[in-house]
Amino acid sequence: MTPNTGLPRFFQEAKSTIVSVLFVFVSTTAIAQPFYVPSGSMEPTIQIGDGLLGSKYPYGYSRYSLPFGLGPHSDTRLFGKTPKRGDVVIFRLPRDPDVVYVKRLIGLPGDTVQMVDGRLIINGKITPIRRAGNANVENSDGTSVSADRFIETLPGGVAHVIVKLSALAPLDNTRTFTVPAGHFFMMGDNRDNSLDSRVPAEEGGVGFVPAENIVARVDVVVGSYDFLNARAVWHWVSAIRFNRFFHTIA
């Protein structure tokens, strides 16, 4: 009788581990990936401390669909589909691809985009807005402040919430931007507290976002934790925002 050396069991366990790793790699690369939000530029749509699930398949795939951005540079995407205006998009910051941002897609290739007195103008037409009360937005220190809440309707019909902290903020008046081919124009819903495409990359902003840098479309909040106000042990449980769990993004 041949003694059991344990090798078959070892290889069986190794096989299971490899299959598990491959499953995680494929699912996070091809299907969806979780992301965490540390800033308030997309409030109130996305709150500080939200955990997002980003769907990768709607836009096809680029090297930034892979972990750590591995893969060759390309101006096209595998199975590429053009993102829709109004989508909430996760992307790699063009001037520093190690940094991940989430913003709303405002301008498509060939569009002109401008801000005049706080109003968004796309292709020469003022985007309609209507007042919708007030909203509380969270500052980086955990305090909250009241902001004016509006519903903005983009060309194509996507209606979404924006907030304004002041009547006239530094980025409320801009030059006219023409979105280059293969690029997109991104803005935050928290209009007065968002570093976005209104600020060129050479000035420390986002600038135009290449199609290659897009990672995923945000569809749902899978969980949320108000870590800024969870300083003491007795606040840890109350800081969980149960009402944000599985909250869909629009």
Beta strands 32-36 and 159-164 are unpaired
**Element holding 23 (H helix, E strand):** helix 7-26
Contacts of 4 (CB under 8 A, 6+ apart): none
**Token pair listed for 195:** 């570093």
Count helices and strands (H / E) in the chain: 1, 15
Distance CA 59, CA 62 (A): 9
**Token pair listed for 67:** 């972990």
Kindly name the residue from 56, 65, 103, 164 that is annotated as catalytic: 103
My answer on whether omega of the bond before 109 falls inside 30° of 0, hence cis, is: no
Kindly name the residue from 41, 194, 197, 224 that is annotated as catalytic: 41
Q: Catalytic residue at 74?
A: no
Cα-to-chain-centroid distance, residue 154: 18
Q: Catalytic residue at 166?
A: no
Q: Catalytic positions, please?
A: 41, 103
